[in-house]
């Protein structure tokens, strides 16, 4: 029997990239990325990389808390078998509740390492194949004219779908969608995301008024904790409903599917804790006859690459919002996911295929946990 490898060292960096302009949603505003990068080294000479995107108003983490939690998780995993991912994820969950973006960085690094050990790209490691996958591109909250202009620019860049951030007032949001639909015409898909910005009555009335504009689906219309209101909105809405902030892990997925609270699930690796639970979410959705989408926070192309591999491997994931890279002022990633308009292509190299430039990491906060005396 071949000896199993062990984790010999874990490197952790802050991963900061400026964005081109502040991006506003109903529950907050992003003006820069403040992520973490985890590199797990194995005794067989391989390493895996994973990115976590803590977002205080969604995952409850900041970069500072994520870095400290990552130090503890690294001490927990050092010396253990990196290929036993189920055990490693269970240990992290037993040790530390929540902290999903931090755990995501470790989870993705473990899967990247497993793919390299197997000599398989991540989509193949997950039992899937290369398939044609596309993403939409997003427009943050602004005045109707600005949002319409941005949506038209997205269409001109060969995108077939635009994701529009809403969640303000009924009149304001309707005027935004009216302006966008007039600008892009009838042949472009419009997806909307209220980011919990409405109460139940406002959500129902707004969605009924938006229905004539041909909206494909609406994400998270009401507060993430109010699952019953989400179910009621779904019953009364003529537009399909997607659960986002209310659906973080597989337990949430089971509860919402059982309630009939949404039509679709939005899987984000930073919310779910990584690929291990994302796969469980998709399995629950598929069992309930529901499709999924895969979304993102503000990851670099490294984190986006892992999400795109997941989508390629699972045909039940029908929609994607993997557009964060378009908002970053710098691309520190080598290899990985590439874009041609809306079309995404994942590499055939082992693992997720992405890495971070050494010169970029030299400027970042860094520490290591090692089992070497």
Tokens of 128: 């899937």
First to last CA, the chain: 28
CA 107, CA 352: separation in Å to the nearest integer?
Answer: 12
Does the active-site annotation cover 24? no
Which residue of the set 155, 165, 271, 277 is catalytic?
Answer: 165
Which residue of the set 136, 173, 244, 355 is catalytic?
Answer: 244
Does the active-site annotation cover 209? no
Answer yes or no: are the C-beta atoms of 72 and 102 closer than 8 Å: no
Residue 94's region, left for phi above 0, alpha for psi from -120 to 50, else beta, is: alpha
Answer yes or no: are the C-beta atoms of 84 and 5 closer than 8 Å: no
207: nearest Cα among 245, 167, 180: 167
320: nearest Cα among 204, 216, 170: 216
CA 250, CA 267: separation in Å to the nearest integer?
Answer: 10
Output b/e per residue, 29-45; b: 16+ Cβ within 10 A. ebeebbbbbbbbbbbbe
Answer yes or no: are the C-beta atoms of 175 and 144 closer than 8 Å: yes
Q: Which residues pair with 134 in a beta bridge?
A: 343
Which residue of the set 193, 245, 252, 299 is catalytic?
Answer: 193
Does the active-site annotation cover 268? yes
The total number of residues shown for the chain amounts to 373
Answer yes or no: are the C-beta atoms of 233 and 204 closer than 8 Å: yes
Tokens of 236: 């009364």
Answer yes or no: are the C-beta atoms of 28 and 60 closer than 8 Å: no
Does the active-site annotation cover 165? yes
Residue 177 is given by DSSP the state H
CA 326, CA 316: separation in Å to the nearest integer?
Answer: 25
354: nearest Cα among 15, 55, 22, 2: 15
Which residue of the set 136, 219, 220, 299 is catalytic?
Answer: 219
CA 227, CA 247: separation in Å to the nearest integer?
Answer: 10
Please report where in the chains the tokens 């779904």 appear, as a residue: 234
Residues that are catalytic: 165, 193, 219, 244, 268
């Amino acid at each position: 029997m071949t000896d199993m490898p062990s984790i010999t060292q874990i490197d952790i960096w802050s991963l900061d990239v400026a964005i081109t302009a502040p991006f506003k949603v109903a529950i907050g505003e992003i003006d820069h990325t403040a992520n973490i990068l985890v590199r797990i080294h194995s005794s067989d000479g391989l390493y895996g990389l994973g990115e976590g995107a803590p977002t205080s108003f969604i995952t409850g983490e900041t970069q500072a808390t994520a870095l400290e939690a990552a130090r503890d998780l690294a001490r927990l995993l050092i010396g253990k078998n990196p290929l036993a991912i189920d055990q490693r994820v269970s240990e992290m969950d037993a040790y530390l509740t929540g902290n999903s973006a931090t755990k995501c960085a470790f989870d993705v690094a473990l899967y990247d390492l497993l793919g390299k050990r197997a000599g398989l790209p991540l989509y193949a490691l997950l039992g899937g194949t290369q398939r044609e996958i596309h993403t939409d591109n997003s427009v943050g909250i602004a005045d109707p004219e600005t949002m319409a202009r941005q949506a038209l620019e997205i269409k001109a860049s060969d995108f077939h779908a635009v994701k529009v951030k809403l969640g303000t007032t009924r009149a304001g949001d309707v005027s935004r969608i009216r302006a966008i639909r007039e600008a892009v015409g009838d042949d472009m898909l419009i997806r909307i995301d209220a980011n919990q910005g409405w109460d139940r009555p406002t959500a129902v009335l707004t969605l009924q008024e938006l229905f004539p504009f041909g909206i494909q689906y609406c994400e998270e219309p009401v507060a993430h904790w109010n699952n019953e209101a989400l179910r009621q909105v779904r019953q009364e809405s003529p537009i399909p409903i997607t659960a986002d902030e209310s659906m973080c892990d597989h337990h949430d997925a089971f509860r919402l599917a059982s309630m009939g609270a949404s039509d679709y699930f939005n899987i984000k690796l930073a919310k779910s804790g990584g690929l291990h639970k994302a796969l469980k979410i998709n399995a629950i959705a598929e069992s309930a006859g529901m499709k999924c989408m895969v979304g993102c926070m503000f990851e670099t192309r490294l984190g986006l690459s892992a999400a795109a591999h997941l989508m390629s491997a699972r045909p039940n994931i029908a929609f994607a919002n993997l557009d964060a890279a378009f908002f970053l002022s710098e691309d520190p990633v080598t290899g990985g996911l590439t874009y041609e308009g809306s079309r995404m292509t994942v590499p055939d190299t082992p693992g997720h295929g992405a890495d971070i430039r050494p010169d970029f990491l030299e400027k970042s906060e860094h520490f290591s946990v090692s089992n070497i005396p």
